Structure 1
């Protein structure tokens, strides 16, 4: 369900050279156009799926993983990218809530 590109694996190995390996949490972060997956070092909690991939441990909320349909992790321009197999829906402009990401208040 989680795949890592060769470039992403090399970057993760380099990152963990200077510190002990820890679980990597994938979580949903809001964005201006659509939500995206982000990374943080974190321990698994109740309700998480814990997945070992190529000597790395990832944790992600089980429901989120289902919605993603799997995740491909890669690196582009020194930035990790986690792409869900099922893309997240795009947000319509000014959906009636204030998300705080675009700098304007769309709240009605």
Structure 2
């Protein structure tokens, strides 16, 4: 299976929720903020002012706005990178582990 076949398969197999919420990304001891655009059970798409590369491992945190619910903390891997003219990146992040 090619990488593009895998992406197509993932789009069909997993429901992606459109969320548009704040997310913190930590890589190499540096933390920055971004916006989580969509979320599924296996990954997410994030827009952030970063310079990450394919294969980078990134800790993410999505805070909860409800006191009864915990936020989402996960270890992810960059599986797709798109760079915008303003320098921001759209990142495809595969969730490796939830903590």
TM-score by length of 2: 0.26
Q: Which has the higher strand share?
A: 2
**Relative contact order: is structure 1 or structure 2 higher (C-alpha 8 Å, sep ≥ 6)?**
1
Q: Which has the higher helix share?
A: 1
TM-score by length of 1: 0.25
